Amino acid sequence: MEHKIEKDRGKQYVASLIKDLEYDTLQFGNAIQLIEKELHYYASILHFFKNTSMYNYSLPFRFYIETNLEESYTPSRPAIEQLKGSGNLRLFHNQLALDSILKYDSYLTGPYKNQTQYTIEATKRLIHSLEPIFDLTNFNRFVDDVMKNSSAHDVSAYDTPFTAKNQDAIRQVQNIYISTKAADFFYLQTLEETKNLAVNLLRFLTEEYNVE
């Protein structure tokens, strides 16, 4: 009787894990698409820095906003946390299943978490670096318009004028864009690897425990 109860509880945890993995897989996919889009705009940003006169010394708003958005996903891991906190990992008598779950969780709390935090910090650094060389008056207008739910139809109204004269300051910001682009690229690779782990674990648990 006790064995049956534990077996049923194990299946309940598997069902919860599968639900979490389905959600994680979806969110990883969404984040991958957003990062890929963001990386496309870095080329435009770097072209701007090399050819500021072509843009009338004003950074197009779409370049600015697309490369300053923080695109990341942090799994909440409710089922795994509950399993670890309650000591109920012992309910998984299938060693391969247990090892697979722990491998996925270890990757989330290790390499994935570290790369996510690094990318968030890189984006913060980028945002702060723009303040000394750009006039953000139009960006303030954009924020006010969003708050009033009345954004301009033509986003070029929010283009950001270039104010810096110091070439060293300009080059520093350009370099920060390059390093942030690299951080996003490595985060994209980490997202893809993590998504693959989630997909494989989801498939394995679904097949192993006959969950439909």
Quick one: pLDDT at residue 6? 56
**Measured distance CA(48)–CA(56) in Å, rounded:** 10
Domain boundaries, the chain: 2-208
Report the percentage of the chain scoring pLDDT > 70: 92
CB–CB of 58/13 below 8 Å?
no
Q: Cβ of 210: how many Cβ atoms within 10 Å?
A: 8
Quick one: pLDDT at residue 182? 96
Q: For residue range 93-138, what is the model confidence (pLDDT) as tens digits?
A: 778 878 888 899 899 999 999 999 999 999 999 999 988 899 999 9
**Listed residue (205, 12, 7) closest to 101, CA to CA:** 205
Stretches in the chain below the pLDDT threshold 50:
1-2
User: Cα-flanking dihedrals φ and ψ of residue 8, to 5°?
Assistant: -65, -40
